[in-house]
Amino acid sequence: MDRIKSLKQELAALKQQRKADALALKKSKQWVNVKNGLPDANTKRAIVWSNDQMSPCWFDDGKWYVYNGSWMLAKDDVVEDVSHWMPTDWMNVPYWPQCGPGIVNRLKYLWQRVTDKASDMTVDLRPAGWGSKAQLDRKVVFYTNNSGEITSGMPENIPAPLGYNKVVCNNVQEAERWSDRQRQWDRAKHGKIQEDRQRIEEPIHAEIRAEMHHNMTYARNPTNREFMRRAIEKSDGKPSPWKYERESYLHSEGFESKR
């Protein structure tokens, strides 16, 4: 009987803990008016609503700093006119709100959702030959800057980091074209890095190999000579560290090409 009573108490405590966790999760997904309070010292990251858009922000010393792709807080990243915030750790929790605070933003979201569904229906009814321009359910995003660098981006509703422009691909053809541009950029960047590595490391490898040949030639006994010979043979058999290639592609491209 004592064992059953103990199990019942543990089950009741577990239910209470689950209710508390569910309540905390629900509160973390609700908008809070800044007039009703600001995050406490333990809250470092939150989603804010400012100028009719959502932004992932850091909260520090009573100020909001928009996420710029790094851990640094700059004066230029300060967000003004914040009306609401959501206590969601956007870096560790895979959640992003569907709409802004208030009934008006909710209605806008529902209207956009209805119109998007109608657009998706027309896409599904198109001939199969139009597949290269099929609309994407979740649009692919890339970031590019003035130097020509192209990287994969975060979801469409998250702003681009400082110094980058956001490219939103509306169909498959655009996504494949920008993916190919990213591969070209990666190949050029990787080739430049490999050339720099070879220019620095090749003389070091040559000096090490010359030292190994010297030790083999002037070995004190046959055992040491054979050891160095095998070491040189093993070293020569390794692939060149400056000749390997790398390639980046979208998950869908890799699935289609069975990579």
* 200-255 pLDDT tens trace: 888 998 898 899 999 889 888 989 899 989 998 888 888 887 777 777 766 666 55
Residue 142 forms part of a structural domain: yes
Would the pTM of this model clear 0.75, i.e. be above it? no
Instruction: Tell me: do 253 and 159 sit in the same domain.
Output: yes
What's the whole-number mean pLDDT along residues 33-55?
Answer: 83
Residue 104 forms part of a structural domain: no
pLDDT at res. 7: 75
Instruction: Tell me: do 170 and 245 sit in the same domain.
Output: yes
Q: What is the pLDDT of residues 149-190, one digit of tens each?
A: 888 888 888 888 888 888 888 887 888 888 888 888 888 888
Over 50: is that where the pLDDT of 128 sits? no
Residue 190 forms part of a structural domain: yes
Over 50: is that where the pLDDT of 121 sits? no
Residue 110 forms part of a structural domain: no
Residue 129 forms part of a structural domain: no
User: What confidence tier does 125 reach under pLDDT thresholds 50, 70, 90?
Assistant: very low
Instruction: Tell me: do 148 and 38 sit in the same domain.
Output: no
Residue 170 forms part of a structural domain: yes
Closest-CA residue to 49 (of 31, 23, 65): 31
3-state secondary structure 156-168: CCCCCCCCCEEEE
In angstroms, how far is CA 27 from the centroid of its own chain?
26
Mean pLDDT of the chain: 78
Residue whose tokens read 């003035």? 146
Our count of domains for the chain comes to 2
Q: What is the pLDDT of residues 145-158, one digit of tens each?
A: 877 788 888 888 88
Over 80: is that where the pLDDT of 90 sits? no
What's the whole-number mean pLDDT along residues 12-25?
Answer: 78
Residue 123 forms part of a structural domain: no
pLDDT at res. 120: 42
Over 80: is that where the pLDDT of 105 sits? yes
In angstroms, how far is CA 129 from the centroid of its own chain?
33
Closest-CA residue to 89 (of 60, 46, 33): 46
Residue 106 forms part of a structural domain: no
pLDDT more than 90, % of the chain: 3
Instruction: Tell me: do 161 and 217 sit in the same domain.
Output: yes
Domain containing 178 equals 134-259
pLDDT at res. 126: 39
